[in-house]
């Protein structure tokens, strides 16, 4: 049973590292790190809302 627990912990750690890596890559590409799927033009938290209103 200990081997199963070790494998589970490693799998969870790899998942977290993958999510963090994907977030860093998206930020470097200039994309939003939030994938809320909402309407950004009305979102106060979205940094792209101001640029979309100017256009």
pLDDT reported for residue 44: 62
pLDDT reported for residue 23: 84
User: What pTM was computed for the model?
Assistant: 0.56
pLDDT less than 50: residues of the chain: 54-55
Dihedral sign of CA atoms 19, 24, 29, 34 in order: positive
pLDDT reported for residue 55: 46
* 20-to-13, 17, 35, 43, 44 alpha-carbon distances in Å: 11, 5, 14, 23, 24
Range of the domain at 16: 3-54
Instruction: Give the total number of structural domains in the chain.
Output: 1
């Amino acid at each position: 049973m200990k081997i199963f627990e070790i494998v589970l912990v490693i799998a969870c750690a790899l998942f977290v590292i993958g999510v963090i890596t994907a977030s860093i890559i998206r930020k470097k590409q200039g994309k939003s790190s939030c994938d809320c799927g909402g309407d950004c033009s009305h979102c106060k938290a979205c940094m792209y809302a101001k640029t979309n209103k100017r256009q």
